[in-house]
Amino acid sequence: MIRKLKSGEFRLYSRKKNPSTGKRRNLGTFSSKEKAEQHERPVQYFKRH
């Protein structure tokens, strides 16, 4: 899940909320949406392998 921050950067969040905090995990901050989308692929891969 990618969200745009007020600073203009894009942050990758986990899809599920953390049950103890109720928030999503920060999986990295990137300068462009393309870079965030590129990083999302290996994150999803390693979650399952």
Report whether pLDDT(37) > 90.
yes
Q: In what order do the strands lie in the sheet with 24-30?
A: 2-4, 10-17, 24-30
Position 12 confidence tier, pLDDT thresholds 50, 70, 90: very high
Extract the tokens encoding 1: 């899940």
pLDDT digits (tens, 9 = 90+) for 14-36: 999 999 999 999 999 999 999 99
Per-residue buried b or exposed e for 12-25, using 16+ beta carbons within 10 Å of the residue's own CB: beeeeeeeeeeebe
Q: What is the pLDDT of residue 28?
A: 95
Cβ-count burial of 8 within 10 angstroms (0-12 exposed, 13-18 middle, 19+ buried)?
exposed
pLDDT digits (tens, 9 = 90+) for 38-49: 999 999 899 888
Q: What is the pLDDT of residue 47?
A: 84
Domain that holds residue 40: 2-48
How many structural domains compose the chain? Answer: 1
